[in-house]
Amino acid sequence: MTRLENKVALVTGASQGIGLAVARKLAAQGAFVVIQGNRSMQAAGDAVRDIESHGGRAAAVQADLAQEDGPARLCERLDALLRDRLGCPDLDILVNNAGVIKREPIEAVTPAQFDLTLNVNLKAPFFLIQGLLPRLRDQGRIINVSSMGTRVAFPAMAAYAPAKAGLEALTRLLAAHLGPRGITVNTVSPGLTETGMNPQLAGSEAAQQAIAGIALGRLGRPDDIADVIAFLAGEEARWVTAQCIEVSGGQRI
C-alpha cells in the first residue's frame, strides 16, 4: 500500500505501544518513518528492523524530551539523519506521541513530577513543532496524541490531564496559524488502551470494571489508535483540521 509513498514521518515515543503501532502503519503505507526513542533505543532498533523486514523504510534517533534541550537535539539529529539517508531534511508528517504519566491525585503531586509531566506532554511538542516548522512541507500533517482524560474526570490524572488539555489548545491555534500553508493539525485522544503505560490492566479486576464502561465492550489496542492517526496523515484527511478525535470505543459516554 503506497498512499504515503515519498512522505517522511517522525513519530515520537515510537519504540513501543501506540507509537510503535503508528510507525509500523505509516511505514506499511509507504512513508519513511523516523522512530524517536530515549532509554529504549534497543527497542527502537528492533522496531526499525521489524519494519524493514516487512519491506518498509525506517530509522531510529535518540533524544530525551524531558530535558530542556531535548527538542532541539532531536531536530539536529533528525536533520543529520534525513540528509544522510534521503539527501534532504524536509518532513511531511509529525506525530507527537511521546508521553509520561504518573497517576497521583493533586495532594500527592510533587513539583518535580508536575514539571516532568508538563515538559514531556506539552513543552516538548511545542518546541519540537517550533523547531521543525521550517522543514515541514506545505500540505504537511501534525498529529498530537492526547487523552480522553481531558473530557472525563480522572482524579489520579491531576497533572497529566491538564498537560494534555494544553496540547489540545495548541492544536487548535496551530490549525489556524498553519492553515494558509495547507498544513492540518489534529489531536487523537485514546481511551484506555493495552500498552506499557497501563501495566495494571493485564487480567485485572480494574480492567473488567473499565470494560463495563466501554460501549464496544473491550479495551483499546494500539492498532485501533494507529489506524485513525494514519488516516489523518494521508490525503483523505486534507479537509480535517483543528479536530480532537476521541478513539475510545465509547468509554464513559
Strands 32-37 and 8-11: parallel
What pLDDT is recorded for position 198?
Answer: 65
pLDDT in tens, 26-37: 999 999 999 999
Question: Whole-angstrom Cα distance, residue 29 to residue 63?
Answer: 26
CA nearest 142: which of 79, 179, 187? 187
Coil, helix or strand at residue 127? helix
Letter for the amino acid at 190? P
**Please, what are the domains in the chain?**
8-247 (3.40.50.720)
> For residue 1, is pLDDT > 60?
yes
pLDDT band at 77 (very low <50, low <70, confident <90, very high): very high
Give the global pTM.
0.96
Task: Give catalytic residues, as residue numbers.
Answer: 160
**pLDDT, greater one: 103 or 206:** 103
Amino acid at position 35, single letter: I
Given this model, what pLDDT does residue 233 score? 98
